[in-house]
Structure 1
Amino acid sequence: MKKKLFVGLLTVAACFSLGATSFADSAVTTSPKTTPSTASHVITPSAYRSDIDIRVGQQITLSGKHFWISGDQGDNNPIYLSSGGIVVGLKKGDALVVAELENGELIEYYIHVKNI
């Protein structure tokens, strides 16, 4: 299962980095391009969105750089996020991770952690 998820994430990342393909076109939600303030981590409309389901204890690696968790959930955060984009499901819940892609645009990863 981990291998399939990793291969799927790599495929999506490759489509984003290679430009417009039929797969990328169907998965992309377009919105106005804006530049966020990385110091304040203010979320602005993103051209890319990815919904990811993981289990408690599962680890995945996200594509991009300059990762951050949107919003302040304090000790209630359902994930651990490393500076390199490694995500570990800690407990049931939802989190929004934002990253910068190589082309300078943002991608929003909606992480849904399940107990299953």
Structure 2
Amino acid sequence: MPFAAKLVTIVVLLIHVYIVLLETVLFRTRGRRVFGLTAEKAEIVQPAMSNQGCYNGFLVAALALGLLYPDAAVARAFNLFGLACVAVAGIWGAATVSTRILFVQTVPAVVGLALLLA
């Protein structure tokens, strides 16, 4: 894997580790502020956000496997899958929640995909 692609993939992975934490263990404190929710609204959406955090954890797992798996072909497949899923999830999030998600998730993932495929 080219160094630049690995570096961007690590950045995407770390962004998603942070998102997992925001949507799960930090949701009632930092997560609530980041997502701009009142305490009342946060209580209502907390179960759904925790579930969403779980799914983001799967993206982290795919990217981690892509970075660590010893077989280069399998690692590349995990990287392609993980980055593509992040890009698609970011597009969906931008369309349904906030356009900011496009820049936080999709753009880094697409850059990583481009570097990986170059």
Structure 1 length normalisation: TM-score? 0.31
Instruction: Determine which structure has greater relative contact order: mean sequence separation of CA pairs < 8 Å that are 6+ residues apart, divided by chain length.
Output: 2
Larger Cα-atom Rg: 2
Structure 2 length normalisation: TM-score? 0.31
By percentage of residues, which structure has more strand?
A: 1
